[in-house]
Structure 1
Amino acid sequence: MRTRLRGLRGLVLLPLLPLLALLLTAGCVSPGAGSPVSASASASASAGGESAPARVARPWRRGDPQLGAQVLWYTYPGETDPSVRANALRLVNYMVGRHMNAVSVTFPFATAGPTASRVGVSAATPSVRHLGMLLDTAAAAGLRIMVRPLLDERSLVARDPLAWRGSLAPADRAAWFRSYEAFLAPYLALAARHHVSTFVVGAELTSLEDDPRWRSLIATARRSFRGELSYDANWDDYVSRHVPVPVDHLGIDAYFPLARLGDDASVAEIAEGWQRWLDRKTTGKLPRIVLSEVGIIAENGAYRHPAVWTGGEKLNPTVQQRWFEAACRVARDREMAGLYWWNLDFHADPAAGAPAGSHTSFLGRPAEAVITSCFRTWPR
């Protein structure tokens, strides 16, 4: 399915990792958490001699738009505290330099297959302690923070090439939700202690959204995390029906296909296509909606299937640039609550630009300048 292919976006260079290492522990939260940002976060950022991060010129305040990027973190074997701190500092400084006031940290969890009734961490899941280092660095910079677990689809595709996280069919749904609640527990505790504003309790789990067990899971989440709870719906799910997960705010992973547009389409034409999609749900302002993922591959044909990130066509950075410009225009016109670009790999060096041969990254390409302009001029 097109969305399933998009779910593998940006991961083609990652080695295949062992699937499940269900090592959840309640005592993994970083020590010293819970103290004020100015104390614990600054101390964490400067631990080991690193420089403190640059500060956001205008930190997010209630009512401001969330202007950020999704930091995608698949951990590698042998990551160390110094390397994690260095990566966190490099990316946070980059985001501040691009006029961002927010960051969403996306990290993977795993399951054994489409019908499995358990989920958990894998070898690709960053440790709770290392996640805390990134969150503290972001907080020290004044960034608004969102935490977002995302189901890794590789085990699903291995069983069924058409499977994706939105088509899960657990053999025992009650067991699945118990397992998912247990998986989330240490990350909710992390969020409560490390300056997190929003926790995304689920993303693109379309086939499970109607389950009444969400209510109990979310009630449990609220007992340990007092911030905002959110859910990120897939683009087609959002426009076609009511998403019944009972959260404070809804995000959209926004990959609206524009099948009639060629590679030379204008920004205005792309924006009009986005507006038509959104109008299927509702017209007018959308002040409670966040565009939780906005991205597209930089190559020919991408407007027709923006959710597909497997590549194969000719590199075309202008396609990506105009898509970003249109998304910014639509989000501002609709007065949306925020926009997060997809994505910044946690291990990337923004100064080096896009990796050789990659069509997925916006680093060092015209779309990067669009991000800066969009956020610098966004009305607040």
Structure 2
Amino acid sequence: MNNKAVILGNNYYIGLSAIRSLGVHGVHTVAVDYSEEDRYGAASKYCSEKIIVPHYKNDTEGFIQALIDYAKKQDQKPVLIPCHDTYLEVIDANLPKIKEYYLIPQTEQGLASKVMNKDTLHALAVEHGVRVPETVRIHEPNFKERVEEEIKFPCLVKPFDSPSFVATFRKKIFKVHNMEELEEAINKAKEANLEVFVQRIIPGFDDHMYTFDAYLNQDGKVTHWTTCQKLRQYPINFGASVYTIQKYTPELFDIGSKFLEAIHYKGFAEIEFKKDEETGEFYLIEINARITNFNHLLYKVGLNFPYITYREMIGKPLEPKALTDTTNRAFWYGYEDFLAVKDYIKSGQLKTSEVMKSFFRPKAYAIWSWKDPKPAFTFMKTRVGKLFGGRK
């Protein structure tokens, strides 16, 4: 296997997990970042090479050119694996140019951005008969009346462009409880030049969040898949997974595979669903078009999606595989889960006894590894440094 794997974004544990998932099979991994700061994923013993490139947003042209220049020096086309939404957006916008030099599963320019954008994803879902939460756009006629009658309070103010919203507000959504809060949230978004819409909250605690994780080959067919259930998120209720279990939920394959194949998606995707606690129906919430937060859990249960991607891209695809058992293994990001647990207990959503029971499951850690401990030490060193640095 002479093709290198170029991993974009190693200042978060998704990049670290991708490096480990590939490096364990002897793949030459290249950590690509715009800064040395917080780059703990590149500290892995499975990282073969590290390079710094221009910032993907501040100097997009320079970033793309740096990737191309690197690829030109290689004997074989590298496989490109973005591990953050913002990297993915830039790659998608420049897909034809990048694909001349890199192996990338997606063939249709704009499709990744379309499924990441809440507005276009909503339209796609409706077009293909997939259930989505009721939504009202702020410029629609009778906006306020429709919110009060169809959406009802409390409700969510969500962005069309999630990466930009998260970068600005450090949260995924605004939860509002009345018209005054709604207007305030809309004004905040306007001031930041971000478009938003209003959406109904599907009833159910955080353990009603499920995922369908799948790989679609170059024929646009699902070849590898499993399903998971989130148990805790941070920030609580509307955040990223910090404690998730693999759990077989066959209905999600029926919905998810049909939808992804219908829109001609290729490569890895994770569809996030919420199960309505009153009706039992699943609603599509969002799609991650890059390696997921709990990739290490998927690796532990036998689905190594970065390697599945790599092998198909170099023309040596792995045998199809579906995980149709419940292993009950959990993904755990302890650093943020402790913060989440504190908030769950404080708000009365969880009891200490319930939390304690969960820790007895076999776990896949976000950062820690006995075989590869350096990234965890590097991570903790930077966190301690920031903690004491902030007290000066």
Normalised by the length of structure 2, the TM-score is 0.29
Higher Rg of the two aligned structures = 2
Report which of the two has the higher share of strand. Answer: 2
Point out which structure has higher relative CO (alpha carbons under 8 A, 6+ apart).
1
TM-score of the aligned structures, taking structure 1 as reference length: 0.29
